[in-house]
């Protein structure tokens, strides 16, 4: 569903990502790993329109849809079907859990501001549908009981789930997760692994994730890409990556 071809990102004289090429197949869970500063989040930022690649192309293919997304705005890319979460949680912390998910629906809003202000019937119908959809998503991620609580009052693990629920409200086909297990304890990490596998099947998603927790990556990813200093040094299944000399050298160095 995603195809990155010789993608390069330069910041002045610094090459953050160099000639990166990869294919993310439909319906898979793919991991992107590498040491700190390897350029992983930069790749996510290019896919989602935060950065425009210096060179190369990024294509999103879904059914008859075939888009070059390299030069689209983030909102256009999200509307096409590619959504993400962030390494540092970015919830609307002073809004309720339900309101956070409700806002994710607005990408699909067909009414204009005039209809919304005067509460025309079409807007009221959409508002009701969005409310029911938000409740459904909260039920799926186990947060229905907390729907009226403020987002900042949730424990860390539940805030991660809420951010994913908000992303799901945009109706994505491809979900990008940037270090979803960051800051979690071992039990929360195990719960997250099950949760990602469940939503991937439930919503028929293609999942591309960055993660430093090797238990998560090796436990749920079918394919793993390894980045070092902005260069793709290996790709393969978990067993192949665990035994790849280049990967071992990148993480542990050589004697």
Q: How many CB atoms lie within 10 A of CB 69?
A: 20
- Report the pLDDT averaged over residues 241-248: 89
Q: What is the pLDDT of residue 228?
A: 93
User: What are 56-94's pLDDT values in tens digits?
Assistant: 999 998 877 889 998 899 999 999 999 999 888 889 999
Confidence of residue 153 (pLDDT cuts 50, 70, 90): very high
- At residue 254, does pLDDT exceed 70? no
Selection from 72, 9, 19, 70 nearest residue 41 by Cα: 9
β-pairing, 65-68 with 55-62? Answer: antiparallel
- Our CA dihedral for 186, 248, 229, 77, rounded to 10 degrees, sits at -50
- The gap from C-alpha 108 to its chain's centroid, in whole angstroms, comes to 18
Q: Are 193 and 103 in contact (CB under 8 A)?
A: no
Where exactly are the structural domains of the chain? 1-81+172-255, 90-167
Burial of 10 (0-12, 13-18, 19+ CB in 10 A): middle
CATH architecture for segment(s) 1-81+172-255:
3-Layer(aba) Sandwich (3.40)
User: What are 197-230's pLDDT values in tens digits?
Assistant: 999 999 999 999 999 888 889 999 999 999 999 9
Q: What's the whole-model pTM score? A: 0.89
């Amino acid at each position: 569903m995603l195809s990155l071809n010789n993608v390069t990102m330069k910041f002045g004289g610094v090459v953050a990502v160099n000639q990166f090429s990869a294919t993310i197949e439909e319906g898979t869970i793919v991991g992107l790993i590498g040491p700190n500063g390897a350029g992983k989040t930069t790749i996510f930022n290019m896919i989602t329109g935060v950065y425009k690649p210096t060179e190369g192309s990024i294509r999103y293919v879904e059914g008859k849809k075939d888009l070059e997304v390299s030069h689209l705005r983030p909102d256009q890319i999200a509307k096409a079907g590619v959504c993400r979460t962030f390494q540092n949680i970015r919830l609307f912390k002073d809004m309720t859990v339900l309101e956070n998910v409700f806002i994710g629906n607005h990408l699909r809003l067909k009414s204009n501001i005039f209809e919304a202000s005067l509460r025309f019937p079409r807007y009221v119908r959409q508002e009701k549908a969005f409310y029911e959809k938000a409740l459904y998503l909260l039920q799926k991620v186990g947060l229905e009981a907390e729907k009226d609580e403020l987002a900042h009052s949730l424990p860390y693990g539940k805030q991660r789930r809420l951010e994913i629920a908000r992303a799901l409200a945009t109706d994505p086909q491809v979900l990008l997760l940037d270090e979803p297990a960051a800051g979690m304890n071992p039990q929360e990490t195990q719960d997250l692994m099950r949760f990602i596998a469940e939503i991937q099947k439930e919503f028929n998603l293609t999942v591309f994730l960055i993660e430093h927790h090797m238990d998560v990556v090796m436990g749920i990813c079918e394919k793993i890409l390894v980045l070092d200093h902005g260069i793709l040094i290996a790709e393969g299944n978990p067993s192949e990556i665990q035994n790849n000399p280049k990967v071992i050298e990148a993480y542990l160095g050589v004697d």
